[in-house]
Amino acid sequence: MSRIWTTRRDEKARRIKSIAHLTQNAILNKENIIEAMEALIQPGDRVVLEGDNQKQASFLSESLLQVNASKVNNLHMIMSSVSRPEHLDIFEKGIAKKIDFSFSGPQSLRVSQMIEDGTLEIGEIHTYLELYGRLFIDLIPNVALVAADKADRFGNLYTGPNTEETPAIVEATAFKDGIVIVQVNEIVDELPRIDIPASWVDFVVEADQPYQLEALFTRDPKLISELHILIGMMTIRGVYEKHQVKSLNHGIGFNTAAIELLLPTYAESLGLKGKIAKNWVLNPHPTLIPAIESGWVDTVHCFGGEVGMEAYCAARPDVFFTGKDGSLRSNRAFAQVAGQYAIDMFVGSTLQMDMRANSSTVVSGRLAGFGGAPNMGHDPKGRRHSSEAWLDLITSDDPLSKGRKLVVQTVETFQNGNTPVFVESLDAIEVAKQAHLATAPVMIYGDDVTHVVTEEGVAYIYKAEGEEERKQALSAVAGVTSVGSKADAAVISSLRERGIVAYPEDLGIHRNQANRSLLAAKNVRDLVEWSDGLYNPPAKFKNW
Amino acid sequence: MSRIWTTRRDEKARRIKSIAHLTQNAILNKENIIEAMEALIQPGDRVVLEGDNQKQASFLSESLLQVNASKVNNLHMIMSSVSRPEHLDIFEKGIAKKIDFSFSGPQSLRVSQMIEDGTLEIGEIHTYLELYGRLFIDLIPNVALVAADKADRFGNLYTGPNTEETPAIVEATAFKDGIVIVQVNEIVDELPRIDIPASWVDFVVEADQPYQLEALFTRDPKLISELHILIGMMTIRGVYEKHQVKSLNHGIGFNTAAIELLLPTYAESLGLKGKIAKNWVLNPHPTLIPAIESGWVDTVHCFGGEVGMEAYCAARPDVFFTGKDGSLRSNRAFAQVAGQYAIDMFVGSTLQMDMRANSSTVVSGRLAGFGGAPNMGHDPKGRRHSSEAWLDLITSDDPLSKGRKLVVQTVETFQNGNTPVFVESLDAIEVAKQAHLATAPVMIYGDDVTHVVTEEGVAYIYKAEGEEERKQALSAVAGVTSVGSKADAAVISSLRERGIVAYPEDLGIHRNQANRSLLAAKNVRDLVEWSDGLYNPPAKFKNW
């Protein structure tokens, strides 16, 4: 008895043949999608559903919810982002059973509840790149359900500005005899460019409406406060300038939006243009427009697109990556690789930080996941190339010592509603117990953090010697939280002298300088003007 | 004066137009390649030359050597692998000036000499994934010179089993208005499958002979010694079995080849089949054939192909990733991501290891680079998912503690010629000074290593408490090297009791068991037989 080595391929052929009556080459009619799914997806399958950060295969997820659960059940779902109600409804209906994911921001409360109720079984929570890696090792998909802008009649795909993670998912599925089903907004005769070749695609279906796309990286400058601006100014002087940071990523948030809008004003007044913040890996943040237009930004590689930024990016190909058709090419997998390995600095924010600088956005009752932060917010130990900023963080004279990536956390000491950010112990520890996770869901570990910036000052914790001194440096910038009240005046004074803590005055900043008049754009309309009318914000950001 | 935002695109169009008389759509005749290169490549350009591990764009590198250095000069070369003489000849002719690379094994001696002579300026040395990341940030290419198996007349590419890093290089170049020139073995009317779409390609040239392809991952079982087998047995019992390692990568070497050939024999006798070593990220090692045929291996994702393994991989699609045409699809970028983030264990080897377990293959006078080892041979701090093996390495009861990737170094205490592997200080420190590198070229840092296995025993250095105990654990397995002579019998005895060191007898292994009769294949011919004649080894491995 010789073993058969083509079971996956044979099974794929069988399933495809079983819906031959529904297809014309690669094209499936939307009316037949549920019948097709019931044949193409089998109980227990591993199914990757595209759920990116911004782009959602919304027609396919809605259709999956409508399959007959006696035919399709116990699926093991793999999703970067749990974003839409039906992403969880499929578990309540028994269509799906287990999930491996990265981020569940909008659904984090419900995820927690469903785990408690036993309707959802968690595999693991991942950072994006880690999840893509597992698609080639121990989470190889049987089926991929993804979204693209356009397809031609052969099944070639155009993903336009929102390529995101589609190629990574499709590659892992297509080249292991999985079935790739793509919803497109439109089937056309000729594509502007080909992002994914038809050889990798099994079925294309024109959806009833365009895939869901969220403007996740748009921050309205009118919501930037003077605290954000103060933190931004200290970060520019105390981190960007001090370490000569050239290449970087910014997380989502008003702290970093403030920095982007301070580059052409405050940072320009310091003579920093051309010296810092030149090469970016970043979604197309609208708040970066003034810096781009002022000549601050050499290049930006994007994880995904951003609603309304399409025409602007297309008109700035010296800065953005674009295809032969002229529109943006994003790529989440490569942007995450670059964000991990090729930049000087990651700047993020958090909801909770403990006294060892461990931080998490997982707070009581919410299992939010991680997104890309763990990947970019750590010192990649495989890195071997140096840069000025990276070398500047060497604190030892060991002949084998090496530099470090800057991992900067910018936080206000209190969140809205008087909730302190600095806490004795992370909620994540309790959440791990409740959700039966093997380890606590920490977003960024304290030993990876190099700088913490609050409205009180900058803690250069990479310089602190020993755990006790790290705690004191953190306390020194933790304000009137219970952690901050542990700060000792004499110790703080010594830390400031040794450059381990800097207060605004140590950086030559007066608190009353931190004024909204420093922002290069004060509202979304200003951003549109800076862009010469090329930026077209979504309606919810237009109030003029 | 408004800024022009299309300078790269305009310059690309100008260059392409200047050779309009030489081209027919995307096709360039090989007779015109030098004239075309002199127009398409300009002084000071950043040029990525494919130089993978196995696949070389040899026709294009030979052609580059023939351009007129008064027209094309001072190039900044970016190459994964410096493998061929002309990769360095171009520096001697002044065509190129600076290089960023990952690996220079075959040319490492000459690289060192040329740096000393001032004919070669080193940018940085990288692990592969890090270099790909920089292609999107601060090493964006102007021109890419790559290799594929076949193209059609539109410029679509078939890379066959040797996709390797071609898509990563092409993406970074094509989507930033760089020029992509591809040598192919053959231009055909219809491709077996499309690996890279024509939208990403500017010019295709049919080379005078197929691109160079080296069988780098083939190890002849007849060269496996009883020491290799002893080390292999201890690694299987003391690491794979002990920690229940399911997913893994093996570096190149006879130690790991021995392990591959012991799985269907020794490991099978231990009842480990189906429990360990199921999911691999690995080039198609011929020495893995017996384990695959015996049902040990569930899946293998490949960095690249391996000469002679094409038909075998194509016949085992349940195990290997293959395309619709049936042949292997490799992908170095995704395999490196998986090898970093998604596996339980990396097993490597080294030429030198110091008392803190730092190791390097950079030895006196040779600047060999790193390849993929630093990326896979460290604990990725962005990892958030757990596995049985990963959790098994937790040594703390801190509620925020997490698991660790296993990073295992298997070495004989002496290399050929009585050169000790264990040394007081790495040659890399001196090499860094001579080559004016910012940091010493360490391959794997000691604090990333969890286990060291020699013919003496296994050191579980992740369990050692403090630097002094780590040193003693290493000394205990360092044999009669000067490092080994520091071992203290009483300390060793205590380390063995505490499970920090294990000698063969502690693992239930008798040294005289380590016999070549345990190898599932004793020579290359045996491998061919195991493969049912599907493996077709290169001539140099055929001696029957």
Interface test with A, best of B132, B136, B322, B375 (most A CBs within 10 A): B136
- Cα B346 to Cα A290, B96, B291, B298, B408: the distances in Å are 46, 36, 18, 18, 6
Q: pLDDT tens across A63-112, in order?
A: 999 999 999 999 999 999 999 999 999 999 999 999 999 999 889 999 98
Q: Give contacts of B172 with chain A, Cβ < 8 Å.
A: 334
| Whether the predicted pLDDT of B10 surpasses 70 | yes
Phi, psi values for residue B191, rounded to 5°? -90, 150
Q: Report, as an integer, the average pLDDT of B242-256.
A: 96
Q: Inter-chain contact A382–B375, Cβ cutoff 8 Å?
A: yes
Does residue A168 belong to the interface with chain B, where contact is any CB pair within 8 Å?
Answer: yes
- Asked if B302 and B328 count as a contact pair (C-beta separation under 8 A), the reply is yes
Question: Is it true that B7-213 and B221-527 share their CATH fold?
Answer: yes
Which CATH architecture group holds B221-527? 3-Layer(aba) Sandwich (3.40)
Q: Inter-chain contact A386–B318, Cβ cutoff 8 Å?
A: no
Class of domain A9-213: alpha beta
Predicted confidence at residue A436, as pLDDT, reads 87
| Percent of chain A surpassing pLDDT 70 | 100
Those of residues 389-408 in A touching chain B at CB distance below 8 A are 391, 399-403
Interface test with A, best of B137, B165, B322, B375 (most A CBs within 10 A): B137
Nearest chain A CA: its distance from B197 CA (Å): 6
Nearest chain A CA: its distance from B244 CA (Å): 15
Predicted confidence at residue A53, as pLDDT, reads 79
Does residue B317 belong to the interface with chain A, where contact is any CB pair within 8 Å?
Answer: yes
Nearest chain B CA: its distance from A197 CA (Å): 6
The answer to whether the Cα torsion of B420, B425, B428, B434 is positive or negative is negative
Q: Inter-chain contact A133–B334, Cβ cutoff 8 Å?
A: yes
**Secondary structure (3-state) at B216:** coil
| Whether the predicted pLDDT of A364 surpasses 80 | no
Whole-angstrom distance, CA of residue A405 vs CA of residue A344 = 5
Q: Inter-chain contact B384–A391, Cβ cutoff 8 Å?
A: no
Nearest chain A CA: its distance from B504 CA (Å): 32
Predicted confidence at residue B361, as pLDDT, reads 83
Q: What is the DSSP letter of A433?
A: H
Q: What angle do CA A429, A430, A432 make, to 5 degrees?
A: 70
Predicted confidence at residue B106, as pLDDT, reads 84
Q: Packing angle between helix B489-497 and helix B466-476, nearest 10 degrees?
A: 100
Q: pLDDT tens across B480-518, in order?
A: 888 888 888 999 999 999 999 999 999 999 999 999 999
Nearest chain B CA: its distance from A381 CA (Å): 6
Model confidence at B1, in pLDDT bands (50, 70, 90)? low
Nearest to B136 among A8, A334, A400 (CB): A334
Q: Give contacts of A124 with chain B, Cβ < 8 Å.
A: 384-386
Those of residues 203-262 in A touching chain B at CB distance below 8 A are 246-247
| Whether the predicted pLDDT of A1 surpasses 70 | no
Nearest to B399 among A377, A403, A429 (CB): A429
Q: Give contacts of B323 with chain A, Cβ < 8 Å.
A: 174-175, 199
Q: Inter-chain contact A317–B448, Cβ cutoff 8 Å?
A: no
Tokens of A14: 């069988």
Strands B501-502 and B458-459: antiparallel
Q: Report, as an integer, the average pLDDT of A34-63.
A: 96
Q: pLDDT tens across B107-160, in order?
A: 999 998 999 899 999 999 999 999 999 999 999 999 999 999 999 999 999 999
DSSP one-letter string for A249-306: EE-SSHHHHHHHHHIIIIIHHTT-TTTSS-EEE----GGGHHHHHTT--SEEE-SS--
Nearest CA in chain B to A102: B384
Q: pLDDT tens across A254-286, in order?
A: 999 999 999 999 999 999 999 999 999 999 999
**Secondary structure (3-state) at B150:** strand
Q: pLDDT tens across B307-348, in order?
A: 999 999 999 999 999 999 999 999 999 999 999 999 999 999
- Label each residue of A292-323 as H, E or C: HHCCCCCEEECCCCCCCCHHHHHCCCCCECEC
Nearest chain A CA: its distance from B73 CA (Å): 24
Q: pLDDT tens across B366-418, in order?
A: 888 889 999 999 999 999 999 999 999 999 999 999 999 999 999 999 987 78
| Whether the predicted pLDDT of B184 surpasses 80 | yes
Q: pLDDT tens across A124-173, in order?
A: 999 999 999 999 999 999 999 999 999 999 999 999 999 999 999 999 99
Nearest to B379 among A136, A324, A381 (CB): A381
Nearest partner of A167 among A152, A149, A191, A148, judged by Cα: A148
Beta strands in B501-543 (DSSP E): 501-502
Whole-angstrom distance, CA of residue B495 vs CA of residue B486 = 14
Nearest chain A CA: its distance from B387 CA (Å): 9
| Whether the predicted pLDDT of B55 surpasses 90 | yes
Q: Inter-chain contact B383–A391, Cβ cutoff 8 Å?
A: no
Nearest to A340 among B133, B176, B448 (CB): B133
Whole-angstrom distance, CA of residue A54 vs CA of residue A284 = 12
Mean pLDDT of chain B: 96
Q: pLDDT tens across B452-488, in order?
A: 999 999 999 999 999 999 999 999 999 988 888 888 8
Predicted confidence at residue A415, as pLDDT, reads 86
| Whether the predicted pLDDT of A365 surpasses 80 | no
Q: Give contacts of A176 with chain B, Cβ < 8 Å.
A: 299, 321-322
Phi, psi values for residue A309, rounded to 5°? -95, 5
| Whether the predicted pLDDT of B239 surpasses 90 | yes
Which CATH architecture group holds A221-394+401-527? 3-Layer(aba) Sandwich (3.40)
Q: Where are the domains of chain A?
A: 9-213, 221-394+401-527
- Asked if A163 and A54 count as a contact pair (C-beta separation under 8 A), the reply is no
| Whether the predicted pLDDT of B539 surpasses 90 | yes
Those of residues 175-214 in A touching chain B at CB distance below 8 A are 175-177, 193-199
| Whether the predicted pLDDT of B534 surpasses 90 | yes
Nearest to A400 among B3, B333, B440 (CB): B440
Predicted confidence at residue A484, as pLDDT, reads 86
**Secondary structure (3-state) at A48:** strand
Q: Inter-chain contact A281–B136, Cβ cutoff 8 Å?
A: yes
Which residues does B14 contact at the CB level (< 8 Å), separation at least 6? Answer: none
Predicted confidence at residue B270, as pLDDT, reads 98
Whole-angstrom distance, CA of residue B163 vs CA of residue B155 = 16
Mean pLDDT of chain A: 96
Class of domain B7-213: alpha beta
